[in-house]
Structure 1
Amino acid sequence: MPATILIIDDDELFSNTVSFVLEQSEHEVLTASSGVEGLELARERRPDLVLCDVHMRNGHGYATAQALRERPETKGVPIVMMTGNASPFGESRSRISGADYYLAKPFAVDELMDVVRQALTAKQSEAQRSHHVIFPSGPSRVS
């Protein structure tokens, strides 16, 4: 299921590598090198998934995740936090900030694709649940 995925990371080589992998699975990839740029791009393009680095030169990924959750247009977008300094504290802080998933760098391509699939499947399931029409039980009478 091709999707639009936004990568927010100030490491250009890393972003390019992850972009290449995701594009091989026919996803459209957007990249931003800062949280501010990522928030603007997310507002404009409304991605299906956001991959966000925790530590960036121009801001923290935690603040970016929290801002994504606070904006109506990105509130329901799954967020994967990525970090080179994984820890239980970092994972907990990521969840508090609004992230749905946590990936420790470096990660294998299979790990990345598993998380992407999980996040997109969960989003699709949520969308289907919210679009179900519930009819009252029993016969209805039309006059």
Structure 2
Amino acid sequence: MQKTILLIEDNEDIRENTAELLDLEGYHVITADNGLEGIRQAQANLPDLIICDVLMREADGYTVFRTLLEDSSTRDIPFIFVTAKSETADRAIARAIGTCEYLIKPFDEKELFDCIRGLLSGPESLR
């Protein structure tokens, strides 16, 4: 069964390129260009996994993650932050909110797909 990934990214080039990579890998991709739209898409479509930028207009990635964790229909969706922010403190903020992965831009395809496969294989992969 084809897995659905929600990609929340405000940079159009990155969003389009990443969506194309995911599509070519066989995933069904839904996109959102800001955090509020991402929250709406997540609640409406209940994707199998969410990839979300941290720094965005409308609502940042941390707000998106917190909001989805508070909703019983979206709290268990695996979540990957993608960001150019590589500070350890930023990663700590994300992990303090909940269980997630954190990829630093620019990331390569293998790193992205390894992370996705790990999360989609189940919670035991996060331990």
Distance apart, 1:59 and its partner CA: 2.4
Read off the aligned partner of 2:27 and give its amino acid letter: H
Aligned pairs, how many?
A: 125
Which residue does 2:68 correspond to in 1?
68
* Cα distance between partner residues in 1 of 2:11 and 2:99: 20
Which residue does 1:108 correspond to in 2?
108
Which residue does 2:55 correspond to in 1?
55
Q: Is 1:89 the counterpart of 2:89 in the alignment?
A: yes
Distance apart, 1:72 and its partner CA: 0.9
Cα pair 2:35 2:57 within 8 Å, conserved: no
Which residue does 2:2 correspond to in 1?
2
After TM superposition, the score normalised by the length of structure 1 is 0.82
* Cα distance between partner residues in 1 of 2:85 and 2:100: 18
Q: Deviations over 1:106-133 (max 9, x none)?
A: 000100000010111125x69xxxxxxx
Q: Is 1:35 the counterpart of 2:35 in the alignment?
A: yes
Read off the aligned partner of 2:102 and give its amino acid letter: Y
Residue aligned with 2:122, SS = helix
Distance apart, 1:100 and its partner CA: 1.1
After TM superposition, the score normalised by the length of structure 2 is 0.92
Specify the structure having the higher radius of gyration (Cα): 1
Cα pair 1:6 1:32 within 8 Å, conserved: yes
Q: Percent identity?
A: 34
Q: Which moved more, 1:56-65 or 1:39-48?
A: 56-65
Distance apart, 1:99 and its partner CA: 4.6
Aligned alpha-carbon RMSD (Å): 1.5
Read off the aligned partner of 1:107 and give its amino acid letter: F
Q: Which runs of 5+ in 1 are unaligned?
A: 127-143
Which residue does 2:16 correspond to in 1?
16
Cα pair 1:80 1:99 within 8 Å, conserved: no
Which residue does 1:134 correspond to in 2?
none
Q: Deviations over 1:24-50 (max 9, x none)?
A: 111000000111101111111000000
* Cα distance between partner residues in 2 of 1:99 and 1:86: 18
* Cα distance between partner residues in 2 of 1:58 and 1:81: 17
Runs of 4+ in 1 over 3 A off after TM superposition: none
Residue aligned with 2:121, SS = helix
